[in-house]
Copies of this chain bind each other. A is one copy, B any other.
Amino acid sequence: MFSPDHANYPNTGRFLAGRLRHEMSEDERAGLETLVSEVKDHKNGDRLIARGDTCNHSTMLIEGFTLRTLEADDRRHGVSFHVPGDFIDLHCFTLKKLDHNIDCVGPVKVGLVPHEAIADVMKDKPHLARLLWFSTLLDAAMHREWIFKLERLTTPKRIAHIFAEIWRRLQMVGMGFDDGFETPLRQSDIADMCGATAIHTNRALSFLREEGIANFQRGEVRIKSRERLEAFAEFSQDYLYGDGDLSLAGDGIKAA
C-alpha cells in the first residue's frame, strides 16, 4: 500500500508516501529531490526553528522525530509532531515568520529547501505545487483532530490516540513494526502533547500498561491489539487521508 521510494530518493522519498505519492510522476519525484540544497544533522533538544524567526528556506525531515511547540511561562506545549517524509515547515514559505518552534527529539537529519526553488515550482509546476499545498492541508486536518481529541478525551485516551497516530504515520512511510514502534519521545514529551503534567501522564501510561492497551517503556511502544488501541482512543485514521473513508485513492488531484 505504501512504496517509500527511499532508495531512489534518499532525501524526499518518503514525502506523501501512503497518501498522494502515487500521483507524482517520476519527473515530479526527481524534481522534488533536487529542491533539497543541503542536508544537516541535529541532536536531541536542538531547536530547529524558533517562533518569530524569518526564514528563507523550508525543511524536509529525512530521519528522526520533531515536535512543533509553543511556550508560555516555563511550560512547553506540543501542537503536533513530525515523522520522516514530512515537510516540517513548508508553510513558512508563505507565512515567512513561524508562529511556533520546531524542536528535535532524538537525532535528526533534515534537508533544506530554498524558498526560491519552491517559488519556481509554484510558477512552473502547478500539479506539484498543488501536492505541496495538499501536504500543508494534511497538517491542518491533523490539527483539527487534535482539537477534537483535546476537547473530548481524558489523558489515557489522548495518549492512546497519539500512539495510534504515530504508529499509522510511521507505517505510511515504511517504518514501524507489526507490534508497535520505537520513538525517542520521553514521558514529558508525551505530557507536552497531552496538556497534562508529567506526573499524571506517568499514571496514565501505567494505566495503559495494566489494561494491556499499550506498553510504553523508554521509547519502546508495544501494542498487542491495534483494534483495541484504536477503539479505546476513539481513533480513526480517516483524517490522515491515507486508507480511510476520506481516502483520495483513484479520485485524487487532477493536473491543475
Contacts and interface: CB of A to CB of B under 8 A. Distances in A.
Interface of A: 52, 54, 68, 70, 72, 75, 77-80, 91, 94-100, 119, 122-123, 126, 129-130, 133-134, 136-137, 139-141, 143-148, 150-152, 194-195, 234, 238-239, 241, 245-246, 248, 251-253, 256
Given A79-B147, A246-B97, A137 B134 contact: no
A129 B127 CA distance: 13
Contact of A148 (B70, B130, B152, B238): B70
Given A123-B256, A147-B143, A147-B146, A248 B136 contact: no
A195 B152 contact: yes
Copies of this chain in its oligomeric complex: 2
Contacts of A194: 151
Contact of A251 (B78, B96, B147): B96
A122 B144 CA distance: 26
B140 A91 contact: yes
Contacts of A150: 147, 150-151, 195
Contact of A256 (B95, B119, B195): B119
A96 B248 contact: yes
A152 to B, nearest CB: 6
A15 to B, nearest CB: 16
Contacts of A251: 54, 96
Contacts of A99: 141, 144-145, 238-239, 241, 246
A141 B119 CA distance: 21
Given A119-B256, A152-B72, A147 B147 contact: yes
A187 to B, nearest CB: 16
Given A122-B126, A126-B123, A72 B234 contact: yes
- For the complex of A and B, the 3 pairs showing the least CB-CB separation, nearest first, are A151-B195, A143-B143, A150-B150
Given A70-B145, A95-B134, 7 more contacts: A77-B147, A79-B144, A94-B133, A95-B137, A99-B238, A122-B126, A123-B126
10 contacts: A72-B152, A91-B137, A94-B134, A95-B246, A97-B246, A97-B248, A99-B141, A99-B238, A100-B144, A147-B150
Contacts of A245: 52, 97
Contact of A130 (B54, B122, B139): B122
